[in-house]
């Protein structure tokens, strides 16, 4: 038994990290509620696209909560050449999430009401990018992994990413409630050499201690992942209370955030060469900047840039 019962906690718009030291495993649990509604309300996506984005956002929160650098960024991008969805982008920075999907509405309407991942993407790829300052380095480091979009869901594809591209035995589960207002996820990983380093290239995939943790993780029900009345720490306790030690690694509140505020847009435009700006400006002296995350256009007056 773990030595201390975990106390009750936030159940929505949060991520928690945990470790099972005796099993050399670590994990994350996330649940999104109002944040999901806020992100989706910027778009008017049909249900299958809204659910796809909800799943992607829960995964992005799970992966983002793994960043060691509090100012780091995690970007998840799925794309195809001939799918109904041609681009899905989500990112995480300092607890802030955002995302959007570009898709063909006509082709979506012609297809099944609950299209499979393959029906949405066809042959596609998932790219996961970590931008962070790692301990011991003085500047930001970018690490990107790309895997084919295979399996039943994006969660499957992320699990393949860790297992194939990273050689880390992993379990990834995501659930969305029936109304699409709550998304929850669990990520479990086996790290026999500890938390650090990409040197563990020869990890064995048949550790009995990992099998034990994975089997416990697989008992999580979709209804538990999305139950707003069940705190994340309570869910953690429910899954692993028979373990010798469950170490809580902290909670991260999650919010909806975008970096397209007018001051930021002006500062980016001010750095362009004058001839480049001249090509963007319309007859009225404005440059129209799109933010696809917010579904907004920002008209910026060139005269106000002061350049
Ligand atoms: Zn924006």
Cα separation values, 153 from 91, 125, 159, 169, 210, Å = 18, 13, 10, 18, 23
How far is ligand 1, taken at its centre, from the CA of residue 38, in Å?
Answer: 12
SS3 264: helix
Give residue 270's Cα distance to chain centre.
Answer: 31
Q: Give the Å distance between the CA of 100 and the centre of ligand 1.
A: 10
Residue 70 CA to ligand 1 center (angstroms) comes to 21
What pairs with residue 148 in β-bridges?
Answer: 125
Instruction: Name residue, tokens 């953690």.
Output: 236
Contact 287, 272 (CB under 8 A): no
- 93: CA distance to ligand 1 center in Å? 13
For every one of its 307 residues, what pLDDT tens digit does the chain have, with 9 covering 90 and above? 444 444 445 789 999 999 999 999 999 999 999 999 999 999 999 999 999 999 999 999 999 988 888 889 999 999 988 899 999 999 999 999 999 999 999 999 998 888 888 889 999 999 999 999 877 777 888 999 999 998 899 999 999 999 888 889 999 999 999 999 999 999 999 987 654 444 444 455 567 889 999 999 999 999 999 999 999 999 999 999 999 999 999 899 999 999 888 888 888 888 889 899 888 899 998 998 889 999 988 888 888 887 6
Calculate how far, in angstroms, residue 172's C-alpha sits from the geometric centre of ligand 1: 29
Q: Give the Å distance between the CA of 261 and the centre of ligand 1.
A: 7
pTM: 0.88
Look-up: residue for tokens 């659910």? 51
Q: In terms of Cα–Cα distance, which of 26, 101, 29, 17 is closest to 59?
A: 29
CA distance 7 to 9: 7
Q: How close is the Cα of 156 to the center of ligand 1, in Å?
A: 29
134 C-alpha to center of ligand 1: Å? 27
The strand pair at 247-253 and 14-20 is best described as antiparallel
- CA 61 to ligand 1 centroid distance, Å: 18
Phi-psi region of 180 (alpha: psi -120 to 50; beta: other; left: phi over 0): left
What are the φ and ψ backbone dihedral angles of 243, each rounded to 5 degrees? -75, 155
* pLDDT score of 81: 82
Give 288 Cα–ligand 1 centroid separation in angstroms.
13
Residue 33 carries which DSSP code? S
Distance (Å) from CA 304 to ligand 1 centroid:
20
Mapping DSSP to helix (H, G, I), strand (E, B) and coil, where does residue 51 land?
Answer: helix
CA of 229 to the centre of ligand 1 (A): 31
Angstrom distances, CA of residue 75 to CA of 68, 115, 153, 196: 15, 24, 18, 21
Tell me which residue of 17, 231, 185 sits closest to 90, measured CA to CA: 185
């Amino acid at each position: 038994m773990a030595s201390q019962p975990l106390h009750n906690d936030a159940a929505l718009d949060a991520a928690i990290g945990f470790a099972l030291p005796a099993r050399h495993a670590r994990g994350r649990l996330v649940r999104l509620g109002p944040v999901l509604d806020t992100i989706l309300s910027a778009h008017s996506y049909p249900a299958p696209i809204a659910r796809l984005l909800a799943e992607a956002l829960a995964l992005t929160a799970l992966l983002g909560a793994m960043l060691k650098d509090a100012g780091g960024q995690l970007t998840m991008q799925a794309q195809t050449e001939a799918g109904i969805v041609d681009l899905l982008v989500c990112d995480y920075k300092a607890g802030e999430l955002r995302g959007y999907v570009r898709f063909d509405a006509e082709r979506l309407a012609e297809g099944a009401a609950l299209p499979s991942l393959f029906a949405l993407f066809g042959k596609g790829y998932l790219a996961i990018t970590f931008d962070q300052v790692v301990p011991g380095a003085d500047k930001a480091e970018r690490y990107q992994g790309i895997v084919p979009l295979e399996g039943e869901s994006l969660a499957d594809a992320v699990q393949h990413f860790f297992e194939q591209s990273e050689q880390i035995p992993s379990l990834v589960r995501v659930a969305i409630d029936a109304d699409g207002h709550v998304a929850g996820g669990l990520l479990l990983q086996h790290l026999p050499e500890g938390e650090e380093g990409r040197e563990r290239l020869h990890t064995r995939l048949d550790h009995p201690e990992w099998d034990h943790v994975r089997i416990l993780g697989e008992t999580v029900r979709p209804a538990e992942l999305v139950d707003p009345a069940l705190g994340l720490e309570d869910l953690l306790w429910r899954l692993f209370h028979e373990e010798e030690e469950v170490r809580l690694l902290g909670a991260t509140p999650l919010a909806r955030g975008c970096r397209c505020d007018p001051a930021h847009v002006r500062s980016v435009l001010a750095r362009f060469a004058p001839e480049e700006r001249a090509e963007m400006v319309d007859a009225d002296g404005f440059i129209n900047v799109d933010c696809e995350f917010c579904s907004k256009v920002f008209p910026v007056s060139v005269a106000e840039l002061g350049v």
